[in-house]
């Protein structure tokens, strides 16, 4: 088992690759992986955020799917099969993608010992210049995919607590 697979990012990377393959017919390939503050901040013009929650002792955190706006438009066109997309269509597409990725990652996160997980409704921000802040001291992992097929996509997971052992 690789170091990546021992962190919460492993199930998230796997879920992201499966979701993009299944829903978009796109291959993401390998990701550049960063943990904590050792990696660049990869928040682009379009970001979908979903919250994770569990038992009082379990995992609490969030996941962000982020990409440049032109990539978000391309993903939306692929998902909807329509050349004409607006901000609402982009928000709907990115929200659906982050929701499916989060749901698909849950079994792998649970297998790592994270307690029962629930997902919040996704929130999507579209437009340049936005920044995302998280609580200080929250452990964060980042995966950046640079696919020639669809462009650059980043997935970040931030957790406020670690496994309880109640898998």
pLDDT value at residue 166:
45
- Calpha distance 136→145 (Å, rounded): 26
The domain 4-159 is placed in CATH, from the list 3.40.50.300, 3.40.1550.10, 1.10.3720.10, 3.40.50.1360, at 3.40.1550.10
Tell me how many degrees the CA angle 95-53-12 measures, rounded to the nearest 5. Answer: 55
In this model, does residue 39 exceed pLDDT 60? no
- Given a contact cutoff of 8 angstroms between Cβ atoms, the answer to whether 122 and 48 are in contact is yes
pLDDT value at residue 167:
41
- Given a contact cutoff of 8 angstroms between Cβ atoms, the answer to whether 15 and 99 are in contact is no
Place of tokens 């904590």: 36
Give 5 or 18, the one with higher predicted confidence.
18
- C-beta neighbour count of 146 within 10 angstroms: 14
- Calpha distance 18→8 (Å, rounded): 16
In the chain, where does DSSP find H-type helix? 9-24, 69-80, 87-111
Across the range 36-48, mean pLDDT stands at 73
Q: What string of DSSP letters covers 59-94?
A: --EEEEEEE-HHHHHHHHHHHHT-S---HHHHHHHH
- Calpha distance 166→77 (Å, rounded): 41
Give 160 or 161, the one with higher predicted confidence.
160
Condensed to tens digits (0 to 9), the pLDDT of residues 81-121 reads 988 899 999 999 999 999 999 999 988 888 887 666 788 99
* pTM for the whole structure: 0.88
Place of tokens 């964060």: 140
pLDDT value at residue 128:
79
* Domain edges within the chain: 4-159
């Amino acid at each position: 088992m690789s170091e990546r697979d021992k962190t919460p990012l492993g199930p998230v990377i796997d879920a992201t690759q499966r979701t993009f393959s299944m829903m978009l017919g796109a291959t993401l390939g390998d990701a550049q992986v960063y943990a904590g503050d050792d990696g660049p901040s990869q928040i682009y013009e379009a970001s979908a955020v979903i919250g994770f929650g569990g038992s009082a002792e379990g995992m609490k955190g969030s996941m962000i799917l982020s990409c440049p706006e032109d990539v978000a438009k391309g993903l939306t066109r692929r998902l909807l099969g329509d050349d004409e997309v607006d901000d609402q269509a982009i928000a709907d597409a990115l929200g659906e993608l982050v929701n499916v990725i989060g749901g698909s990652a849950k079994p792998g996160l649970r297998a790592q010992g994270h307690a029962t997980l629930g997902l919040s409704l996704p929130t999507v921000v579209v437009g340049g210049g936005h920044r995302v802040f998280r609580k200080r001291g929250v452990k964060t992992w980042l995966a950046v995919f640079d696919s020639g097929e669809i462009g650059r996509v980043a997935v970040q997971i931030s957790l406020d607590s670690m496994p309880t052992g109640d898998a």
